[in-house]
């Protein structure tokens, strides 16, 4: 698929404030998407390359993006920076300056969704001595073959400013409309809640329909979406909400952790799906030693303990 088709869809999503209209736009679009590309298209629509629990950041520094825009459009850095300050939107800067290019190159290559995804992945993975220069050149290469609207969304994605309204719930609504029925919507959401990977869910329903969705199970290293309590003003209202009877326990001063213990690895996730494994290597190692190559998922509160007294410390 050409990236211009996806960018035009982003443009239509951004132009409407109606969630129902967004759902219809997305549903109509994804019906015509090649199933092999759908997963990555879903990620890109949220300005990502993968689910949130994979701890890799795409974000490029603003100055690098500005440099790539200036280089591609033939605009002095000072003028591009002035426009950036005025708009506050790298996508708007790219769109305006790319549209003013005096001469279109005769050697432009086709910009496809696959090429964009691979290019953004290369930007994300660039490391080492010349990584900043490499990132700038990778982006400039894609901008070189972009139209104004394509450039707008490329620059928003790489700077983490992709906001076209394609939230998780809207995408799930669109998947139900495109591949199932309204009655199937809860089952689709459940599949998302136990995998936290909306691209995977989209790919599953596109290829296998609701049968594939119903077969989705909890998996090691796919964190389960955390259920959070609602706040109420008083204890009496909490008891009333629970039907007059409830159990109460102490709230520990710590951090909620979901541990995924595989046969050869341990992953720790926060309630916001952040990978905490490297923050708490001692916990990961203790779980690995205790579980002895068994597979399990454990959730609990991680607390600090005074080794001399055995009492919990403020976290």
Quick: pLDDT tens for 37-65.
999 999 999 999 999 999 888 878 999 99
**Low pLDDT (below 70) residues in the chain:** 102-107
pLDDT at site 145: 95
Q: Are the CB atoms for 174 and 189 separated by under 8 Å?
A: no
Q: What is the pLDDT of residue 32?
A: 95
Q: What is the reported pLDDT for 109?
A: 86
Please give, one letter per residue, the 3-state secondary structure of 53-85.
CCCCCCCCCHHHHHHHHHHHHCCCHHHHHHHHH
CATH numbers and ranges of domains, the chain? 47-158 (1.10.3260.10), 241-313 (3.30.470.30)
Return the active site residues.
Answer: 251
Nearest to 1 by CA among 42, 51, 44, 38: 38
Over residues 175-217, the pLDDT tens digits come to: 999 999 999 999 999 999 999 999 999 999 999 999 999 999 9
**Could you give the CA distance from residue 151 to residue 90 in angstroms, rounded to a whole number?**
9
Question: Which residue is it, tokens 């923050």?
Answer: 279
Taking the alpha carbons of 184, 185, 190, 196 in that order, is the dihedral positive or negative?
A: positive
pLDDT for 217: 97
Dist CA 79 CA 97 (whole Å): 10
Residue 252 near residue 312, CB atoms below 8 Å = yes
Q: What pLDDT shows up at residue 291?
A: 87
3-state secondary structure of 227: coil
Q: Which pair of structure tokens corresponds to residue 64?
A: 């690098």
Tell me what pLDDT residue 53 has.
93
Residues 6+ apart with CB under 8 A from 291: 261
Tokens 């594939």 correspond to 212
Q: Are 291 and 255 in contact (CB under 8 A)?
A: no
């Amino acid at each position: 698929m050409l990236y211009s088709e996806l960018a035009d869809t982003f443009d239509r999503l951004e132009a409407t404030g109606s969630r129902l209209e967004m759902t219809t736009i997305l549903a109509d679009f994804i019906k015509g998407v090649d199933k092999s590309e759908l997963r990555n298209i879903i990620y890109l629509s949220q300005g990502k390359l993968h689910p949130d629990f994979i701890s890799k950041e795409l974000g490029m520094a603003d100055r690098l993006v500005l440099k790539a825009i200036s280089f591609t459009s033939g605009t002095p850095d000072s003028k591009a920076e002035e426009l950036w300050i005025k708009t506050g939107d790298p996508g708007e800067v790219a769109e305006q300056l790319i549209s003013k290019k005096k001469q279109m190159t005769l050697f432009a290559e086709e910009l496809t969704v696959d090429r964009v995804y691979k290019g953004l992945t290369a930007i994300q993975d660039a490391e080492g001595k010349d990584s900043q220069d490499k990132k700038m050149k990778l982006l400039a290469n894609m901008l070189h073959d972009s139209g104004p609207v394509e450039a707008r969304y490329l620059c928003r994605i790489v700077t983490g400013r992709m906001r076209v309204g394609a939230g998780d719930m809207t995408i799930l609504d669109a998947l139900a409309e495109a591949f199932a029925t309204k009655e199937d919507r809860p089952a689709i959401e459940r599949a998302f809640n136990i995998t936290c990977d909306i691209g995977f869910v989209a790919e599953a329903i596109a290829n296998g329909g609701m049968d594939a969705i119903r077969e989705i199970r909890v998996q090691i290293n796919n964190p389960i979406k955390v259920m959070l309590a609602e706040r109420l003003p008083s204890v009496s209202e909490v008891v009333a909400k629970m039907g007059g009877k409830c159990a109460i326990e102490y709230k520990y001063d710590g951090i909620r952790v979901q541990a995924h213990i595989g046969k050869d690895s341990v992953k720790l996730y926060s309630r916001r799906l952040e990978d905490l494994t490297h923050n708490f290597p001692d916990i990961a190692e203790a779980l690995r030693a205790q579980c002895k190559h068994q597979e399990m998922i454990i959730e609990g509160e991680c607390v600090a303990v005074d080794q001399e007294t055995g009492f919990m410390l403020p976290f």
